[in-house]
Structure 1
Amino acid sequence: MPSTRTKILAALAAAPLVIALSACASGAGAEGGDDVVRIGVVGKSDPQWPAFEEAAAEAGIEIELVDFADYAQPNPALSEGELDLNQFQHIVYLADYNVSADEDLTPIGATAIYPLGLYSTKVESVDDIQDGDTVAVPDDPSNLARALLVLQSAGLIELKDGGSIFSTVADIDEAKSKVKVTPLEASLTPTSLPDVAAAVINNDFVEDAGLTFADAIAKDDPSDPNALPYVNIFAARAEDKDNATYKKLVEIFQTDPDVQAGLLESSGDTAVPLTTPVADLEASLADVEDDTRAQG
């Protein structure tokens, strides 16, 4: 069970996140113009973003980065027109949002795929984790399922059906598993480390915990062909998917050497930059949305 300290932190995290947003986004026209493009991110201080702002300005595009502290906010803000784009999520996360919110946000370009890691401040290897120890995982459905697959690959749990992008803690075969699993809001998994044997921590929060990506004691394989649903993307509203300015911003992100260097730096050289065709991203999103509806 989580300690009193962890429960208190979780309660604090549940408080509404207040972020100053204008009543609506400027909505840069298809031909560009002088409008500011507002982009929601998680981790504005990451080194790729200053480089991206500079490269966009050199191309005549002014952008404003809107920083969010957790993953729950950027998609609603985009749907409601408070942002023009966001870049923080993979396809599985977007599919879950679209289905649950009855929205049609769409990918307009790939950025990278990141391995998801298991970290600990108490043990140096997975083998040191004891029977009955507790491991924390992110509680949002897409990252929860991926985290469970990481734990299964590490030999810490066994999933009854072998595991999928829809796995939940209910799918854990407790009799055949070594550890107990506690889901927490993603930004809280790092702060849970003093109270658990290990935690699966999303890349955005690794360095905030005073860790490096090299500290991971287990992780998944981003080169797996089945990893396409976990490709991170720029997302836009469906009516803006052909916006020329937005497409240019994707191109800048994918090709500017300083942006790419910043991307690798911010991920501890673990990111695998991608230029996956948008048609492939759209097809993957449609497939995952269909599977998500079928699960419901």
Structure 2
Amino acid sequence: MYLRRILAAASVSVIAATGLAACSSDSSGDSASNGPITIGTTDASKKAWAAFEDEAKKEGFDIKIQNFSDYNTPNQALDQGEIDTNNFQHLKFLAEYNKGNGTDLVPIVATEIVPLALFWKDHDSLDGIEGQEIAIPNDATNQGRAINVLVQAGLVTLKEEGLITPGLPDIDEAASKVKVTPVDAAQTPAAYGEGKPAVINNSFLDRAGIDPKTSIFQDDPNSKEAEPYINAFVVRAADADREDLKKLAEVWHTQPVQDAVAEDSKGTSVPVERTPEELQTILERVQEQS
């Protein structure tokens, strides 16, 4: 089938997550068929998914969790009706995917934000950081967010305030307190090891043995700048009002699942509660500015 061809051709990305199906429980609401609800993700081995599956079954849901090896395929599969929903991406990634592929995928339930943080070996504060060279990820997904982390820390000044995805040309170097140096995301831990301050993605912290709790600053998950990085369950626009999918996605916020999410992220993830309307407003704003 087409999905198998996609999976065979897909390569693992460095970024940053059948037919219509129903819940077996009458409480799940209207749905399109009697099979399991299929959910796509890129990290099915995490403890959160095992907890989610257990809690969903307790609520009477019949589900299937399908893992993908790259970050584009779960959206392709969703758009083509191969799965019912997915949970692996933040709103900025979704906005860029929709805009680049002409799709109309929408968020229905927020899950969490994983803050992006600044680390400085053998330091526990921003004291003395002025004049330093700070390494940040150079990929399109994380560079703008990393710059905004430094803006929120008061270390970088932009020529224009409020940019969702600022680039290097947007930095007012004369007014900034540090120099920003983009490097491959995988090299940010190496910069940290050399004694340079570095903004490091969570996925690389674990590999480098860096404790996430040793960060000296992180973006505020409640700030407007962080809104594009809210993760969410996503569906096709035609399924945005399916009550079974909404109720299933809400299972993510049950305590056993949240405990597992916290364990997976070593306590760095921050739960987010937003209405579908609020999520859609953020998505549209990000799509307009992307």
Interval of TM-score (by shorter of Structure 1 and Structure 2): 0.7 to 0.9
TM-score (norm 1): 0.76
* CA contact 1:161–1:171 (8 Å) conserved in 2: yes
Q: Does 1:260 align with 2:261?
A: no
Q: Distance in 1 between matches of 2:37 and 2:96?
A: 29
CA-based RMSD of the aligned residues comes to 3.1
User: Is 1:106 aligned to 2:86, yes or no?
Assistant: no
Q: C-alpha offsets along residues 171-200 of structure 1, whole Å, 9 cap, x if unaligned? A: 122344422321535x66446644672332
C-alpha separation in 1, matches of 2:233 and 2:52: 13
User: Secondary structure at 1:260's aligned position in 2?
Assistant: helix
Look up the equivalent residue of 1:245 and give its one-letter code. Answer: D
Paired letter, 1:102: G
Matched, 1:139 2:139: yes
Please show how residues 1-296 of structure 1 align to structure 2 within 5 Å: 17=11, 25-29=18-22, 30=31, 33-35=34-36, 37-41=38-42, 43-58=43-58, 59-68=60-69, 71-121=71-121, 123-129=123-129, 131=131, 133-137=133-137, 139-141=139-141, 143-177=142-176, 178-185=178-185, 189-190=188-189, 193-194=192-193, 197-224=196-223, 227-254=226-253, 256-292=254-290
Count of residues in correspondence between the two structures: 268
Seq. identity, %: 35
With over 3 angstroms needed to count, the CA separation of the structure-2 counterparts of 1:67 and 1:203, relative to structure 1, is farther
TM-score for the superposition, normalised by structure 2 = 0.78
Say if 2:134 and 2:199, in contact at 8 Å, map to a contact too: no
Give the secondary structure class of the aligned counterpart of 1:197. coil
CA distance in 2, matches of 1:140, 1:80: 26
Q: Which runs of 5+ in 1 are unaligned?
A: 1-14, 20-24
1:12-49 deviation per Cα after TM superposition (whole angstroms, max 9, x unaligned): xxx96269xxxxx44324256333513123x3333211
> CA 1:166–1:134 in 2, change beyond 3 Å: closer, same or farther?
closer
Deviation per CA, 1:82-124: give whole Å up to 9, x if none.
5432222222222222122222110011112332211244655
Letter in 2 for 1:135: A
1:194-218 deviation per Cα after TM superposition (whole angstroms, max 9, x unaligned): 4672332333443333223212121
Q: 1:134 to 1:226 in 2, by over 3 A?
A: closer
The residue type equivalent to 1:158 in the other structure is: T
SS at 2:137's partner residue?
Answer: strand
Residue-by-residue CA offset, 1:111-159 (whole Å, 9 max, x unaligned): 1233221124465544454736241225224x32221011123344322
Shift in alpha-carbon separation, 1:87–1:98, aligned structure 2, 3 A: same
- Specify the SS of the correspondent of 2:251: helix
> Is residue 136–residue 192 contact of structure 1 (8 Å, CA) maintained in 2?
no
